[in-house]
Structure 1
Amino acid sequence: MPASLSETLIVMPAYNEAASVGEVVTEVLNHLPGVGCLVVDDGSTDDTAATARQAGAAVAQLPFNLGVGGAMRLGFKYALSNGYRNVVQVDADGQHDPADVVKLLAGLDAADIVLGARFAGEGDYAAAGPRRWAMVVLARVLSRTAKVKLTDTTSGFRASGPRAVRLFARHYPAEYLGDTIESLVIAARAGCVVAQVPVSMRPRAAGVPSHNPIKAAVFLARVGMAVMFAFIRPNIPLREGIGERP
């Protein structure tokens, strides 16, 4: 069954994104009529929550900063409790184009998780140095785990179908990089089908990127630890699993 917008929740983790979140919410609601939109204010100290609410989003506020994984786990629980079949993660900084959400949802016809891949032939997004090396290694390792060629396993622009939503509402990892690397390992080992579609990335609507050579080297080291922890985590028992694809 094709994924519909009325059954889809856009989950937008946001930490001190008051300068951009309102415009992103407005764009999502204008481009995707009928979709639900939840902004998870991840312990912001600015007006992120008020700005998102004024733009028309539902808002959940965490008492302190948990990171993207913690915010997304809340989003999956909200989706399950409110009858949404699909969840699409969208950044609050404007880098993800809401027009590409339709492509992600179309991919759910044959997959449980669809990644918006920045290195799959569309757009001019580039990464260099240790960050790029880590992405290449991760793509190879996780492609073998998921049994499909993946080129951008750290992408935060992704859609989850009904089976993955049920799985992630209970087992979504909140650790550093858990929302990208470990979540894919958990899903693949639980039997989820993973796919990707090419997307373009846009410049941030506000703020500045956090990458520099030192942070890139730290990222490389932390990626290694994240992969190690992802694979030593026990498999989810089938009785706690996700059921058959609808």
Structure 2
Amino acid sequence: MNAAPSILVVVPCFNEEEAIAGVVSDIHRVRGQYGLNLDVLIVNDCSTDGTLSVIKRLNCSYLDLPVNLGIGGAMQAGYRYAFRKKYDIAVQMDGDGQHPAVELPKVIHPIAEGQADVVIGSRFLERMGFQSSFSRRIGIKYFRWLNQLLIGKTIHDSTSGFRAFNHKTIAIVNQYYPDEYPEPEAIVQFGLNKLRILEVPVVMRERQGGTSSITFIRSLYYMFKVTMGTLFVYIRLNKQ
């Protein structure tokens, strides 16, 4: 009988003192409910509020980054930890409570069964739960088109930060992972590395604390910057 895969849930957080304890508690509850061989790693991206003091009271490992790296840098720190500790599966979950822990088995199962290298939890396959803001949905549709153009794959929720990687993928992102706003850019990286990408329907919630860093004005900047970053990833990997 095969041993249960070892799973690391990486939770990046920046100023999430209101939500992070609930996120970790929910993950532990699901771990016990489903008997998962699962650990939690919080990556504190140089928070300026009381996030670190809250994390220190939680029953989990954490990395306290000395400088703010953004979501991409924080996640690569977590993936490098997963690679060095030889975890079979790494899962990204946001620290603001948008990703309900009860949905974890949906993104883990296809990896554990060898059906995919990358699993993305999508809020748009069945359109249940929180569907994000109007401006963000426009951006998501745009990145769906861009991914289709560059790698020939249709990803309905390319900005979703609820995703799971197998060890093959962990080894790839251990070497390189896009910074700042990595989720859409990483899909091009996965496609060019011939990884099997699978979307599964999940229900997401509104953030349970804190404030989103992406306003309407910043969403325009976000689309431009991510487009440039995505093209850079495409050109960089095609030269290898």
Q: Which residue in the other structure is 2:126 paired with?
A: 121
Picking from 19, 42, 66, the partner of 2:69 is 66
Q: Which residue in the other structure is 1:244 paired with?
A: none
8 Å Cα contact 1:131-1:219 kept in structure 2: no
Residue 12 of structure 2 is aligned to residue 13 of structure 1: yes
Q: TM-score, normalised by structure 1?
A: 0.87
Residue 235 of structure 2 is aligned to residue 232 of structure 1: yes
Residue 140 of structure 2 is aligned to residue 135 of structure 1: yes
- Quote the Cα distance in structure 1 between the aligned partners of 2:21 and 2:224: 35
Residue 37 of structure 2 is aligned to residue 32 of structure 1: no
Task: State the 1:2 CA deviation.
Answer: 8.8
Task: State the 1:136 CA deviation.
Answer: 0.8
Counterpart AA for 1:159 = A
Task: State the 1:13 CA deviation.
Answer: 0.5
User: CA RMSD for the aligned pairs?
Assistant: 2.2
Query: CA deviation digits over 1:193-230, x for unaligned, max 9?
Result: 11100111112211233443322322232232222222
Q: Which residue in the other structure is 1:103 paired with?
A: 106
Q: Which residue in the other structure is 1:79 paired with?
A: 82
8 Å Cα contact 1:76-1:87 kept in structure 2: yes
Helix, strand or coil at the partner of 1:54: coil
- Quote the Cα distance in structure 2 between the aligned partners of 1:166 and 1:173: 14
Counterpart AA for 2:176 = H
Q: Which residue in the other structure is 2:189 paired with?
A: 186
Task: State the 1:183 CA deviation.
Answer: 1.4
8 Å Cα contact 1:107-1:114 kept in structure 2: yes
Q: Which residue in the other structure is 1:242 paired with?
A: none
- Quote the Cα distance in structure 2 between the aligned partners of 1:127 and 1:20: 18
- Shift of the 133–171 alpha-carbon distance from structure 1 to 2, 3 Å rule, reads same
The number of aligned residues is 234
Query: CA deviation digits over 1:48-96, x for unaligned, max 9?
Result: 2331231211011110100111111111111111121110000111110
- Quote the Cα distance in structure 2 between the aligned partners of 1:116 and 1:213: 24
Query: CA deviation digits over 1:83-130, x for unaligned, max 9?
Result: 211100001111101111101011222111000111111414334554
Task: State the 1:132 CA deviation.
Answer: 2.4
8 Å Cα contact 1:117-1:152 kept in structure 2: yes
- Shift of the 38–149 alpha-carbon distance from structure 1 to 2, 3 Å rule, reads same
Task: State the percentage of identical aligned residues.
Answer: 30
Task: State the 1:16 CA deviation.
Answer: 1.3
- Quote the Cα distance in structure 2 between the aligned partners of 1:208 and 1:58: 25
- Quote the Cα distance in structure 2 between the aligned partners of 1:83 and 1:224: 33
Counterpart AA for 1:20 = A
- Shift of the 149–16 alpha-carbon distance from structure 1 to 2, 3 Å rule, reads same
- Quote the Cα distance in structure 1 between the aligned partners of 2:174 and 2:163: 15
Residue 223 of structure 2 is aligned to residue 220 of structure 1: yes
Long gaps (5+) in structure 1: 238-246
8 Å Cα contact 1:3-1:86 kept in structure 2: no
- Shift of the 134–2 alpha-carbon distance from structure 1 to 2, 3 Å rule, reads farther
Q: TM-score, normalised by structure 2?
A: 0.89
